[in-house]
């Protein structure tokens, strides 16, 4: 492999670590969510921790909250569980049922986040990526297919106008 192809290829995904973290996410999620196995999971994060702060906030200038996000197609429900980058613990789940939320949409600018307004006082912006470099801030997990599936669910079955 040439110098430039190495330079532009980017870091390799560590599938062993990713799979282990996906299993940890599932265990934490199932521990606090009733019928957790009926939900598909992605890792997400929010920078809006002032309104969505469960005490699981990593100390940094832009305070980032790590989230395990579950979604259930049949009930059209999203469940958000706060966690920490090493997946050593989690907080209490928050349920967002489509029939109960005020508004939900995908904000393509500037952050490309999934935005949910459960009421007139609060909102959450969920950021979901295939994987992120900084393991001190984010859960390390490869989830390209899962993010596509969640995006499809959110845009086509969950979002409101």
Q: Tell me how far the alpha carbon of residue 39 is from its chain's centroid.
A: 13
Q: Is the confidence at residue 9, as pLDDT, over 60?
A: no
Domains in the chain, CATH or no CATH each: 12-158 (2.30.29)
Q: What is the mean pLDDT of residues 50-72?
A: 64
Region of poorest pLDDT, from 31-35, 95-99, 131-135 = 131-135
Q: Is the confidence at residue 3, as pLDDT, over 70?
A: no
How many CB atoms within 10 Å of residue 124? 23
pLDDT band at 11 (very low <50, low <70, confident <90, very high): low
pLDDT band at 54 (very low <50, low <70, confident <90, very high): very low
pLDDT of res. 56? 42
Provide the pairing of β-strand 40-46 with 64-72. Answer: antiparallel
* pLDDT tens digits along 87-131: 999 989 999 999 999 999 998 877 789 999 998 888 888 999 888
Dihedral of CA atoms 144, 145, 149, 155 in degrees, nearest 10, equals 30
User: Among candidates 111, 136, 138, which has minimal Cα distance to 126?
Assistant: 111
The whole-chain average pLDDT of the chain stands at: 84
Of residues 44 and 161, more confidence is placed in 44
pLDDT of res. 5? 43
- Only one residue has tokens 């900084």, namely 134
pLDDT of res. 47? 72
Q: State the distance between the two ends of the chain, measured CA to CA, in whole angstroms.
A: 49
């Amino acid at each position: 492999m040439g110098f430039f192809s190495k330079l532009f290829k980017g870091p390799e995904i560590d599938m062993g670590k990713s799979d282990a973290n996906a299993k940890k996410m599932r265990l934490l999620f199932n521990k606090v969510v009733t019928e957790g196995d009926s939900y598909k999971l992605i890792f997400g994060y929010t920078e809006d921790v002032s309104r969505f702060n469960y005490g699981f906030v990593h100390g940094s200038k832009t305070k980032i909250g790590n989230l395990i996000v579950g979604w259930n197609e049949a009930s059209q429900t999203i469940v958000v569980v706060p966690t920490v980058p090493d997946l050593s613990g989690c907080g209490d789940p928050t349920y967002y049922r489509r029939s109960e939320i005020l508004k939900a949409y995908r904000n393509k600018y500037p952050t490309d986040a999934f935005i949910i307004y459960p009421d007139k006082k609060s909102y959450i912006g969920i950021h979901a990526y295939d994987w992120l470099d900084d393991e001190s801030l984010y859960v390390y997990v490869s989830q390209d297919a899962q993010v596509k599936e969640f995006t499809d669910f959110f845009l086509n079955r969950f979002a409101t106008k």
